[in-house]
Amino acid sequence: MDKSKLEALLEEAMVDCYNEEECFWGMFYTLEDHLTFPLQAQTLGEAVTAVGLDDQRSGMRRGMMARVSKGGQEYT
């Protein structure tokens, strides 16, 4: 993703935010809307397939959590 696209996404995500939590969820849902799943990723040095973001497990304390699959199993 080029720099101008990233800046536009950040602006879109935070346009009406009044605090950190609103910024967090604005970015979460903007990414969810603009990423095309599944996509290839790495976690702990291993190749996985990211299948989506997990809004139930994500939060300000934990950060953004993704759902990934490897070997027929799905993990958060």
Number of independent structural domains in the chain: 2
Query: pLDDT confidence of 36, banded at 50, 70, 90?
Result: very high
Query: pLDDT confidence of 6, banded at 50, 70, 90?
Result: confident
For residue 27, which of 2, 64, 67 has the smallest C-alpha distance? 64
Query: pLDDT confidence of 54, banded at 50, 70, 90?
Result: very high
User: Residue 50 is part of which domain span?
Assistant: 37-76
- Looking at the structure, tell me whether residues 30 and 49 fall in a common domain: no
Single pTM value for the model: 0.81
- Looking at the structure, tell me whether residues 49 and 19 fall in a common domain: no
- Looking at the structure, tell me whether residues 29 and 42 fall in a common domain: no
Tell me what pLDDT residue 5 has: 85
Instruction: Please report the DSSP string for 38-64 in residue order.
Output: SEEEEETTEEEEEEEE-TTT-BTTTB-
Neighbours of 72 (CB within 10 A): 5
Whole-number mean pLDDT of the chain? Answer: 92
For the ranges 6-15, 18-27, 32-41, the lowest mean pLDDT is seen at 6-15
